[in-house]
Amino acid sequence: MRTQVGIIGGGPSGLLLSQLLHLQGIETVVLEKHTREHVLGRIRAGVLEHGFAQLMRQAQVGERMDREGQIHEGFFIAHGGRQDRIDLRALTGGKTVLVYGQTELTRDLYEARDRSGGKVIHRAQEVTPNDVNTARPYLTYRVGNEVARLDCDYIVGCDGYHGVSRQSIPQERIKVFERAYPFGWLGVLSRTKPVSPELIYATHERGFALCSMRSTTLSRYYIQVPETDTVADWSDERFFEELRARLPPQVAQGMIVGPSIEKSIAPLRSFVAEPMRYGRLFLAGDAAHIVPPTGARGLNTAGSDIHYLYHALLDHYRSGDDEGLDSYSEHALARVWKGQRFSWWMTTLLHRFPEHSPYEQRLQQTELDYLFSSQQALGSLAENYVGLPF
């Protein structure tokens, strides 16, 4: 089989790129390791910045997102028993974010690919990029007992943090930057009315907590837990008791609790691989970088990679201009690192660090005091949260 762009990974990055290129008449094939049901079973964050939502519309998959997604004009930071609002709209000259689950967004992308006869090959095992340093790269993979070969002009690795693309690059050609945090987030999804119409990020001496949502009837809550904890350590009852203890009393009192319909622990870590290109293999999204979820940057940063790569491929196929492909890694990484910085800053501001000295605890307190005493500091938080320009 032959295509123009071979895409490894059918998560949001791979599907969005495939859909955008399709609309421009550029052929793609997506190779996804798992079944569609498996991909759609993952519960992930759901705060979309303006630029990401625009990309969805550009890909003609924004209709349900615009109908069902909730526009959020602000969020709260709870600290010291009170909550202060970050007025995103006022602080950014009118920008907002859209709350729309990543699972729904991925479903929309799959349906769009179906409608236009897009090729997404599921259960593709042993996907391997070959000859990426030549003008004729190809992918090999196996579905069941059938081994297949996909010849392409370019290969894009959208196969997430554990994928094969990054790992196929010789170690001496890639530099990795990482930081692991000594805690994770325990998340619970419950079919209850969210405690607040806007997100609440809470910092407390017992640890960080987040009140988020997927809709007006579906709540998503998180608490910071030690990295050694397991889901089995946390009954629903214990979870909600701990969550409430970390929220201001008036918020805790108003919380409606219900049985969890999903419960999982995600470790917190930061990771960047540089460069994001090796020959004719390009990396995008979680395959090249991950962030702790605190600043809601993960999916949004994947979106900026796709934006740059889409335009670069378009220039190549339309006018033979390879400047965008040649500068992709540099451009994408400049924005990736800003997302890393912001995620690190939000994480450091709001979590309890077991290793922190009393001095560092005071600095953290002072950072919060400063934030709420300075319009400039609030403006900086807001402009990063709604997404820096591409």
- Considering the complex, what minimum distance in angstroms separates the CB of residue 278 from ligand PHB? 31
Q: Is 306 in the site for ligand APR (CB under 6 A)?
A: no
Size, binding site for ligand PHB by CB under 6 A:
9
Alpha carbons 72 and 26: distance in angstroms, whole number: 35
Task: Tell me if 159 contacts ligand APR by CB under 6 A.
Answer: yes
Site residues for ligand PHB, window 355-384 (CB under 6 A)? none
* Closest distance to ligand PHB from the beta carbon of 316 (Å): 35
Selection from ligand PHB, ligand APR, none that 299 binds (CB < 5 to 8 A by kind) is ligand APR
Q: For ligand APR, what does the binding mask look like between residues 112 and 151, x meaning CB under 6 A?
A: ------------x--x------------------------
Residue 233: half-sphere exposure toward Cβ, Cα within 13 Å: 10
* Residue with Cβ nearer ligand PHB (27 or 236): 236
List strands edge to edge, sheet with 154-157.
119-121, 28-31, 5-8, 154-157, 281-283, 277-278
Site string for ligand APR, 4-23 (x = CB under 6 A): ----xxxxxxx---------
Least CB distance to ligand PHB at residue 64 (A): 18
Partner whose binding site includes residue 296, from ligand PHB, ligand APR, none (CB under 5 to 8 Å by kind): ligand PHB
Residue 387 is a binding residue for ligand APR (CB under 6 A): no
Which of these ranges, 33-41, 179-187, 317-325, 327-335, lies near ligand APR under the rule CB under 6 A?
33-41
Nearer to ligand PHB by Cβ, of 45 and 195: the residue is 45
Q: Does residue 32 touch ligand APR according to CB under 6 A?
A: yes
| Least distance in angstroms from the C-beta of 288 to ligand APR | 8
Output 242 or 315, the one with its CB closest to ligand PHB.
242
212 binds, among ligand PHB, ligand APR, none (CB under 5 to 8 A by kind): ligand PHB
Is residue 293 involved in binding ligand PHB (CB under 6 A)? yes
Question: Interface with ligand APR by CB under 6 A: which range of 75-83, 161-169, 229-237, 380-388?
Answer: 161-169
- Angstrom distance (rounded) from CA 80 to CA 254: 18
Hey, which residues between 272 and 291 contact ligand APR (CB under 6 A)?
285-286
Residues near ligand APR (CB under 6 A) are 8-14, 31-34, 39, 44-45, 102, 124, 127, 158-160, 162-164, 285-286, 298-299, 302
